[in-house]
Amino acid sequence: AQSVTQPDIHITVSEGASLELRCNYSYGATPYLFWYVQSPGQGLQLLLKYFSGDTLVQGIKGFEAEFKRSQSSFNLRKPSVHWSDAAEYFCAVGAWGSQGNLIFGKGTKLSVKP
Amino acid sequence: GAVVSQHPSWVICKSGTSVKIECRSLDFQATTMFWYRQFPKQSLMLMATSNEGSKATYEQGVEKDKFLINHASLTLSTLTVTSAHPEDSSFYICSARDPLGPRQETQYFGPGTRLLVL
């Protein structure tokens, strides 16, 4: 069955520290992948996306993610976290040739300590 | 570019009434829109896929007669929660794909509508 796993429900990091949010997927077809961020009571903002090509993708707000096919992973990273990065982060996977349906992970809540 | 709006952002209604939520693509034409539901502290669950000019495709377990979806134009899709009950209280989020954009598979999300049924 198709699934997306974000193993960490809640992560707390200190401001200025590095961050890595994990995402693993199980998908029969060749996937394309997204990371979205959601602030409380808000919709989702696209951080970055991977379709093909270079497996290291750059996004907005200094985020990057690396697609590793052998590990079925698409982890999100940021070298130095800012207090404004505190939010919920969702990994999502889609399949080529589908209607565009996305499967979302359960999300990782990021808290930032001053 | 690729902005999606939703209206209203908040709605409180009495049990048994119907509520309509609008989803608009502001700067592009969206042949496909998606409706999601999100419970507190949970992920997004796809309810239905809305294609302009045709019937929506509902996910398993979603009642078609309760959640009416209309995608009458390339920039507007509506979700009507009919005879709403307290268990329908949730955060409803729409998204849209830009078929002419550089990556048509990308979904752009609206800000969401919080529904509270009393």
Q: Which of B32, B93, B105 sits opposite A51 (nearest CB)?
A: B105
**What is the residue-level pLDDT of chain B in tens, covering all 118 positions?**
688 999 999 999 999 999 999 999 998 888 889 999 998 878 889 999 998 888 899 999 999 999 999 988 999 999 999 999 999 999 999 999 887 766 777 889 999 999 999 9
**Residue B1 confidence (pLDDT):** 66
Kindly list the residues of chain A whose beta carbon comes within 8 Å of any beta carbon in chain B. Answer: 32, 34, 36, 41-46, 49, 51, 90, 94, 96, 99-102, 104-107
pLDDT tens-digit map of A32-81? 899 999 998 888 999 999 988 899 999 999 999 999 999 999 999 999 99
CA dihedral B99, B79, B27, B91 (to 10 degrees): -100
Residues of B in contact with A51 (CB under 8 A): 103, 105
For the record, the structure tokens of A13 come out as: 């990091």
Q: Which of B64, B94, B76 is nearest to B30 (CA)?
A: B76
Instruction: Determine the residue type at B34.
Output: F
Q: For residue A100, what is the nearest residue in chain B, using CA coordinates? A: B105
Residue A1 has pLDDT above 80, yes or no: no
Residue A98: pLDDT over 70: no
